[in-house]
A and B are shown apart, each in its own frame.
Chain A
Amino acid sequence: MAASPTVTVTPPAPEGGGPGGAAVPRGLRYANRSLALAGTTIIWVALLGPVIALLTHLSWHDIKASLSAPGAFEPLILSVESGAVTLGVLVLLGTPLAWALARGTLPFPRVWEAGVLATLLLPPLVIGLLLVFMVGPFTPIGHLLSGLQLSATNTFLALVIAQVYESAPYYILGAQAAFGGVDPRLEQQAALLGDPPRRVFRRVTVPLAAPGLAMALAISWARAMGAFGAVVIIAYHPTALPLQIWTTLQETGLFSALPFALVLLVVALPLPLAAYIWSARARGRRRG
């Protein structure tokens, strides 16, 4: 914590010998800071409103009843598995695109960026409906898949596809920003010293972009775990965690559905939280 970013900004004292920073009474400065803290607290608590409502409306009885039902944790395991596969797909396919976007090596870069933004803009439900046209059993892709004994309708594959589409833009835009923060001169230096491009990428670009990449992955993990809109359309079965909340809500009601929302939070939060902390520390170290 020694390297907190307090050292960076020193506002220049106003000219003409007016009341400078030092002239502000200590009490006023303290009041100012408290006010800012109170303001941020209100915003933070308001943002957490739904989570607070969740925690205050759960009872041990409901949690026990819901979680002890046979097969209660199957959707959780499925969500973790499909989420992991989704992250793998994103890293494999999203990283090169994000890097190319960040380095501006593509012709008409704005068109490429607009494409990524378009997928971010579409409501997940609409993405799901459109995926039916794209990967349904009677589409060219559907035929291709069935030739491989696969199907993108109500299968694990369909679940992963829906999750990838819901989370990909978050990863790509995040990774683009992370790569964009790496000084290209450092890459050029390494290249001048004789490293081939692949090695430069692995030894220079990725380590420097790692904190940002970790954040991008953390956000897309959270998106994938919570994915519902596209999932409910193309992967009603097998049941992932968000869909379990939905079907439980319809089968047995609100109070047996809410515990699964807690499960979702407890399971999906540690990874992005760890990435967040690590990423903040790594950035702090670099600045200090």
Chain B
Amino acid sequence: MLAYNPNSKFAPQFNDIASGKKPISDLFTLMQQPGFQLGRTDPNTDPQGRAFIYMLELAQMKYHLPKNTVTKILGGPLASAKSTQIFEEAALDSRLQAGQVDAASAYLSQAKQLHLKYISLPPDINLGDASFADTYAKASITITDSTGKDTKTGSPLTIDITTLIGAKDAAAGNAFVAYVLSPAGRALYKNQGGYTLLTPTLTGNASDVPASIRKEIGS
């Protein structure tokens, strides 16, 4: 989703889009307006920075926007870290709260925790719905990381949880993971972050996962 500054000069347009008076596709022309101050994080270091770009790519496809829409909004090449739009994640949130950007990339959980105004995006571009995994995979970006150039493709935003092999107190680790995945643990996420976890899925060798944890995710 996109968090926005309620005191921005573009606030009336944001409000109209957020309330559904104007279509979501308007958002992507609005973000190209001269003087529009967009804030996002570094796609080379931060998954949120990449997720935001995937979302723009998916929107460009979905709404059949002109081909240069994404680069126009980003003000340059996709993976460039040399952009004045890019901030450290904590700096970005505080900058939005201080009213010093018009809009910023954010996760829904952040927006709820920090009580930000935001525009919800449809599930086929917001990377939040696992059933659209195939659609998300159509978006991609090539970044530089420890392996050199690395092309990453869009995927549902997930939060992974695991225990360490050979941990000193493995039983406590397993108990913690089982609690996080239990109804009580998930309720805590809902109450604190205001969002529901995706249905937990298990990857890798199921027999490596302790029975107590498998029980919580029903597999």
Report B-chain residues with C-beta under 8 Å of the C-beta of A247.
42, 44-45, 81
Q: Does B12 contact A (CB under 8 A)?
A: no
Q: Which of A154, A251, A253 contacts B144 (CB 8 A)?
A: A251
Given A138-B100, A139-B100, A233-B91 in contact, is the A251-B145 Cβ separation under 8 Å?
yes
- Among the 9-residue stretches B24-32, B82-90, B112-120, the one with 4 or more Cβ atoms under 8 Å from chain A is B82-90
Interface string of B135-157 (1 = CB under 8 A from A): 00000000011100000000000
Contact A236 B44 (CB under 8 A): no
Query: Looking at the complex, which one of A129, A142, A153 makes contact with B84 (CB distance below 8 Å)?
Result: A153
Asked if A238 contacts B82 (CB within 8 A), the reply is yes
Asked if A151 and B98 sit within 8 Å, CB to CB, the answer is no
Interface 0/1 of A136-173, CB less than 8 Å to B: 11110010000000010111000000000000000000
- Chain A residues near B85: list those with CB within 8 A: 154
Task: Say whether B212 faces chain A, with CB atoms less than 8 Å apart.
Answer: no
Q: Is the CB of B84 within 8 A of A237?
A: yes
Whether A112 is near chain B, meaning CB under 8 Å from some CB there, is no
Contact with B along A241-272 (1 / 0, CB 8 A): 00000010011110010000000000000000
On whether the beta carbons of A136 and B87 are closer than 8 Å, the reply is: no
B190 shortest CB reach to chain A, Å: 30
A153: nearest residue on chain B (CB-CB)?
Answer: B84
Residues of A within 8 Å of B, CB-based: how many? 26
The reply to whether A151 and B84 form a contact with Cβ atoms under 8 Å apart is yes
For the complex, what is the distance from the CA of A213 to the CA of B85, rounded to whole Å? 39
CB distance from B155 to the nearest CB of A (A): 20
In the complex, what distance in Å separates the CA atom of A138 from the CA atom of B84? 15
A252 touches B100 (CB 8 A): no
Chain A residues closer than 8 Å to B200, beta-carbon distance? none
Cα of A139 to Cα of B37 in the assembled complex, Å = 13
Kindly state whether residue A128 has any CB partner on chain B within 8 Å.
Answer: yes
Which parts of A57-107 form the interface with B (CB within 8 Å)? none
- Closest Cβ of chain B to A234, distance in Å, is 8
Cα–Cα distance between A154 and B83 once the two chains are bound (Å): 8
Closest 5 A-B residue pairs measured CB to CB? A136-B100, A250-B45, A154-B84, A252-B146, A233-B91
Given A132-B100, A239-B81, A232:B88 Cβ within 8 A: yes
How many of chain B's residues have a CB under 8 angstroms from any CB in A?
A: 24
A138, A139, A252 pick with most chain B CB within 10 angstroms: A138
Taking beta carbons and an 8 Å cutoff, which residues of A are in contact with B?
A: 128-129, 132-133, 136-139, 142, 151, 153-155, 232-234, 236-239, 247, 250-253, 256
B20 at the interface (CB under 8 A from A): no
Q: B146 to A251, Cβ gap below 8 A?
A: yes
**Is B110's CB within 8 Å of the partner chain A?**
no
On whether A236 and B37 interact (CB within 8 A), knowing A138-B99, A252-B145, the answer reads: no
Chain B positions within 8 Å of A232 at CB level: 88, 91
Closest beta carbon of chain B to A264's beta carbon, Å: 19
Q: Which residues of A contact B145 (CB under 8 A)?
A: 251-252
9 chain-A/chain-B pairs, Cβ below 8 angstroms: A133-B98, A136-B99, A138-B100, A139-B100, A154-B85, A236-B91, A247-B42, A250-B46, A251-B45
Are B95's CB and A236's CB within 8 A? no
How far does the alpha carbon of A252 sit from the alpha carbon of B148 in the complex, in Å? 9
Residue from the list A151, A233, A253 in contact with B146, Cβ < 8 A:
A253
In the bound complex, residues from chain A placing their C-beta under 8 Å from that of B100 are: 132-133, 136-139, 142, 153
Chain A residues positioned under 8 Å from B82 (CB to CB)? 237-239
- Tell me the B6-48 residues at the A interface (CB within 8 Å): 7, 37, 42, 44-46
Complex contact A132–B45 (CB within 8 A): no
In whole angstroms, what is the CA distance A139 to B100 when docked?
8
Other than the known A251-B45, A251-B144, what 13 A-B pairs have Cβ atoms closer than 8 Å? Answer: A128-B91, A129-B94, A132-B91, A136-B95, A137-B37, A138-B7, A139-B100, A154-B87, A155-B84, A236-B86, A236-B87, A237-B86, A238-B82
Q: Enumerate chain B residues within 8 angstroms of A132, measured Cβ to Cβ.
A: 91, 94-95, 98, 100
Chain B residues lying within 8 Å of A251, measured Cβ to Cβ, are: 44-45, 144-146
Residue of B nearest to A71 (CB): B82
Q: Which residues from B are CB-within-8-Å of A253?
A: 146
Residues in B with CB closer than 8 Å to A137 are: 37, 100-101
* B45 neighbours in A (Cβ, 8 Å): 247, 250-251
Chain B nearest CB from A210 CB (Å) reads 39
Instruction: Return chain A residues, CB-CB under 8 Å to B94.
Output: 129, 132, 233
Return chain A residues, CB-CB under 8 Å to B144.
251
Q: How far is the CA of A232 from the CA of B89 in the complex (A)?
A: 10
In the complex, what residues of A have CB within 8 A of residue B42's CB? 236, 247
Minimal beta-carbon separation of A149 from chain B (angstroms): 13
* Nearest opposing residue in chain A for B92, CB measure: A236
